[in-house]
């Protein structure tokens, strides 16, 4: 995944401190350098650490939950009946526990860096410190943010942005950096978007927002502002190379060309889009138009290989065209393109001078020589449980498929206690439908 997309067979990666010093044939590196320690990666794929371009770590708390809700029949109802009742009951303890669980799962399955958006209208202050603590405990790298929204009140939106601002002024905390997050254009005023853009520019950090995930976002902007979502965001000055637009399922070709022209990136979340039945994002058109697209999990399935495979498959079946997207393009969305989305110049590829975020993967059964098309093998033949070793910034955090920095069993028992309490809180309150745009927005 370096600039020339080199594939080195029988290769080795030489690491010194937190950086990669050389990537070359193993024989050549062995004769030139004497390593203090060697990770045996024979018969393995060695990849740059996978980067998740959009997630909600707290989404892992929903796994297997028994929320007693009337089944939602569209995307807005999914937010109103599932996600919003959940986030209204989140406190910092649950923020920490869900982040810990999600980070353990991502580390074990090959993700070394992620961009997270957290939401908890009743637990805003200090939430990002709690999440950063969990990320650093596992040893991952993360960009984290609080999702500012005015869905209940204007004041809440300002407090959300303030939490981002506070964390940005103290980050990086270990390997964790801050960024700015705004929920979606149908829950925020022009004023809040402007404030978010100003903070991102002042700190020189990324800004992220959900864009046209469901049709309601498009309808809202047409009804209120007489324009589509991307057109409104361009008018508000949000679109720039520091912007990452999550989803972008319902776009016109004009909107795609606006995104391409402004240099904003798009985070594609195929598995979440399938789960929420919102549609298929026009990723092939975006790629052909020069839009930088990265891959996210949206807080649903945290195994990067599953998300990679979904992105590889969904566009083929949707268009009934097996040539519509290639294995290499999809792997780039989870590596160098994801790094570019967030301005992470030192990540996303294995090359001298880059940070040593490295993943070693070996399929359970080697069914074919690797000498053919390695992209095809990675996309079609690997899964997260095949990950053997994971290095972040030159530090091994997974070896022989086990976490090295945390005691997984002990951490799991803490997670379970916290999520159990959260579920009890969820069972107590009435499951009300929150109208978007309440409070005069
Ligand atoms: Zn999302």
Whether residue 253 lies inside any domain: the answer is yes
Q: Which residues contact 392 (CB under 8 A, 6 or more apart)?
A: 49, 112, 113, 139, 140, 141, 175, 356, 357
Of 38-52, 217-231, 361-375, 394-408, the poorest mean pLDDT is in 361-375
Report the separation in Å between the CA atom of 45 and the middle of ligand 1, taken as the mean of its atom positions: 30
Contact present, 78 and 418 (Cβ < 8 Å): no
| Structure tokens belonging to residue 163 | 């939490």
Q: Residue range 244-261: average pLDDT?
A: 98
Q: What's the mean pLDDT in 210-223?
A: 96
Establish if 401 belongs to a structural domain: no
Tell me if 251 is assigned to some domain: yes
The pLDDT of residue 426 is 83
Residue 90 has pLDDT above 50, yes or no: yes
Q: Which pLDDT tens digit goes with each residue over 266-280?
A: 999 999 999 999 999
Residue 369: what pLDDT? 80
With b meaning 16 or more CB within 10 Å and e meaning fewer, what string describes 54-72? Answer: bbbbbbbbbeeeeeeeeeb
**Is position 280 within any domain?**
yes
**pLDDT beyond 50 at 432:** no
Q: What is the average pLDDT across 168-197?
A: 97
Quick check: is 437 in a domain? no
Domain of 339, in residue numbers: 48-344
Give yes or no for residue 91 having a pLDDT over 80: yes
The alpha carbon of 54 and the centre of ligand 1 are apart by a number of angstroms equal to: 6
CATH number at residue 89: 3.20.20.140
299 Cα–ligand 1 center, Å: 7
pLDDT band at 425 (very low <50, low <70, confident <90, very high): confident
Strand 358-361 and strand 387-392: the pairing is: antiparallel
Q: Are strands 50-55 and 265-268 parallel, antiparallel or unpaired?
A: unpaired
What would the mean pLDDT of 330-345 be, rounded to a whole number?
98
Q: What is the pTM of this model?
A: 0.95
Domain count, the chain: 1
Which of 192, 209, 285 lies closest to 247, judged by CA?
209
Evaluate whether residue 21 is within a structural domain.
no
Ligand 1 centroid to residue 422 C-alpha, Å: 21
- Of the pLDDT bands very low, low, confident and very high (cuts 50, 70, 90), residue 368 is confident
429 CA from centroid of ligand 1 (Å): 24
pLDDT (tens digit, 9 = 90+) per residue, 113-136?
999 999 999 999 999 999 999 999
Q: Can you give the pLDDT at residue 434?
A: 40
* Cα 154 to ligand 1 centre (Å): 21
320 located within any domain: yes
Looking at residues 178-183, what average pLDDT do you find?
A: 98
**If you measure from the C-alpha of residue 314 to the centroid of ligand 1, how many angstroms do you get, rounded to a whole number?**
19
Measure 203 CA to ligand 1 centroid, in angstroms: 23
Instruction: Calculate the average pLDDT of the chain.
Output: 94
CA of 10 to the centre of ligand 1 (A): 39
How many A from CA of 215 to the centre of ligand 1? 15
Ligand 1 centroid, distance to 380 Cα (angstroms): 26
Helix (H, G, I), strand (E, B) or coil at 126: coil
Task: Look at residue 334 and tell me if it is in a domain.
Answer: yes
> What pLDDT, on the 0 to 100 scale, is given for residue 428?
52
CA 8 to ligand 1 centroid distance, Å? 36
Question: Tens digits of per-residue pLDDT, 57-76?
Answer: 999 998 888 777 888 989 99
């Amino acid at each position: 995944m370096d600039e020339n997309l080199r594939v080195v067979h029988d290769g080795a990666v030489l690491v010194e401190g937190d950086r990669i010093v050389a990537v070359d044939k193993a024989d050549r590196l062995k004769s030139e350098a004497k390593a203090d320690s060697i990770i045996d990666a024979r018969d393995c794929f060695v990849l740059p650490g996978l980067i998740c371009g959009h997630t909600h770590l707290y989404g892992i708390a929903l796994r297997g939950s028994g929320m007693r809700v009337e089944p939602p029949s569209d995307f807005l109802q999914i937010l109103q009946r599932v996600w919003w009742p959940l986030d209204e009951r989140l406190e910092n303890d649950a923020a920490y526990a869900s982040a810990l669980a999600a980070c353990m799962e991502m580390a074990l399955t090959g993700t070394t860096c992620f961009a997270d958006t957290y939401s908890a209208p009743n637990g805003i202050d200090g939430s990002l410190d709690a999440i950063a603590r969990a990320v650093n405990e596992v040893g991952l790298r993360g960009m984290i943010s609080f999702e500012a929204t005015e869905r209940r009140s204007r004041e809440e939106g300002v407090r959300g942005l303030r939490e981002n601002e506070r964390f940005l002024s103290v980050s990086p905390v270990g390997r964790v950096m801050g960024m700015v997050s705004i929920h979606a254009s149908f829950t925020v005023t022009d004023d809040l978007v402007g404030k978010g853009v100003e903070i991102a520019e002042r700190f020189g950090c990324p800004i992220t927002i959900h864009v046209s995930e469901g049709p309601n976002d498009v309808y809202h902007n047409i009804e209120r502002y007489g324009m589509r979502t991307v057109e409104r965001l361009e008018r508000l000055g949000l679109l720039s190379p520091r912007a990452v637009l999550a989803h972008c399922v319902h776009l016109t070709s004009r909107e795609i060309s606006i995104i391409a022209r402004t240099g904003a990136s798009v985070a594609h979340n195929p598995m979440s889009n399938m789960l929420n039945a919102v549609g298929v994002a026009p990723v092939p058109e975006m790629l052909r138009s020069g839009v930088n697209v990265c891959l996210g999990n949206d807080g649903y399935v945290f195994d990067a290989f599953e998300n990679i495979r979904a992105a590889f498959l969904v566009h083929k079946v949707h268009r009934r065209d097996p040539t519509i997207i290639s294995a290499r393009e999809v792997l780039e969305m989870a590596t160098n393109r994801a790094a570019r989305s967030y301005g992470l110049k030192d990540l996303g590829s294995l090359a001298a001078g880059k940070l040593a975020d490295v993943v070693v993967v070996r399929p359970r059964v080697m069914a074919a020589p690797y000498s053919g098309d390695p992209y095809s093998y990675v996309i079609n033949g690997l899964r997260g449980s095949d990950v053997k070793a994971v290095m972040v910034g030159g530090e091994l955090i997974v070896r022989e498929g086990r976490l090295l920095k945390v005691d997984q069993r002990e951490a799991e028992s803490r997670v379970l206690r916290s999520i159990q309490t959260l579920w009890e809180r969820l069972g107590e309150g009435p499951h009300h439908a929150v109208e978007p745009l309440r409070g005069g927005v």
